[in-house]
Amino acid sequence: MAFELPPLPYGYDALEPTINKETMTLHHDKHHAAYTAKLNEGVAADPKLEGKSIEDILGMISSLPPLVRNNGGGYWNHDFFWKIMTPKNGGGGGSPTGKLKDAIDAYGGLDKLKEDFNAKGAGQFGSGWAWVIADSSGALKVVSTPNQDNPLMDDANDKGTPILGNDVWEHAYYLTYKNDRAAYLKAWWDVVNWEEAGRRYDAAVG
């Protein structure tokens, strides 16, 4: 197997009440597991992908078949998603610090970032993701992508380093929030792992 399903960094019920145990169990054990298995099928069928990292694969995704695009994106996006969240009693939903806080202040402040991010997520037609990305200068931008696309793909409309990302596929929230995606997006900030986001920002800007 070229890629393995990463374990959750916390228990299935750790993000309750923001995201319930049933949602997390299905999302990780069924959806993420399926993306992992299908990605491995695509990699096994293409010798030039042997030994490449998922980031390398995403960087050449425009030349690869939909099987690899959809499942490679799903594999990376979900691994990122689990790590960019943390239980409230473990620091989730706190506040950004350091260089990331400075970048958010330069963007217009945390309230504006949340407002723009929630609007992007709510406005994404159908399935997809909302992102905060950093460009090569360290400036932040809020974008969305369809399906399992992400800003690391070589043909992304908005390229950059993902700092935050939220899954707005219905399976990510429907059991708790039904069709109220806006309520899910608003509640999600309670489990954001700002420490991890800050590490990713620091790595992006050097």
Q: Per-residue pLDDT tens for 22-72?
A: 999 999 999 999 999 999 999 999 999 999 999 999 999 999 999 999 999
Domain contains 6: no
Radius of gyration of the chain (CA): 16
Mean pLDDT of the chain: 97
pLDDT of residue 206: 82
pLDDT of residue 2: 87
Q: For the chain, how many residues are written?
A: 206
- Whole-number Å distance between alpha carbons of 63 and 187: 38
**Taking 90 as the threshold, does the pLDDT of residue 133 lie above it?**
yes
End of a domain among 66, 85, 104?
A: 85
Residue 193's domain comprises 90-205
Structure tokens at 36: 């992992």
The total number of structural domains that make up the chain: 2
CATH classification of the domain holding 191: 3.55.40.20
* Same-domain pairing of 102 and 167: yes
CA of 167: how far to CAs of 45, 77, 123, 141, 170, in Å? 28, 8, 13, 17, 8
* Same-domain pairing of 128 and 165: yes
* Same-domain pairing of 117 and 142: yes
Q: Are 100 and 119 in contact (CB under 8 A)?
A: no
What is the pTM (predicted TM-score) of this model?
0.96
Calculate what percentage of the chain has a pLDDT beyond 90: 96
Domain contains 163: yes
Give the confidence band of 137 by pLDDT, cuts at 50, 70, 90.
very high
pLDDT tens digits along 80-126: 999 999 998 878 899 999 999 999 999 999 999 999 999 999 999 99
- Whole-number Å distance between alpha carbons of 137 and 177: 37
Beta-carbon neighbour count of residue 100 at 10 Å?
Answer: 25
Beta-carbon neighbour count of residue 133 at 10 Å?
Answer: 22
pLDDT tens digits along 178-204: 999 999 999 999 999 999 999 999 999
pLDDT of residue 1: 62
Calculate what percentage of the chain has a pLDDT beyond 70: 100
Beta-carbon neighbour count of residue 125 at 10 Å?
Answer: 7
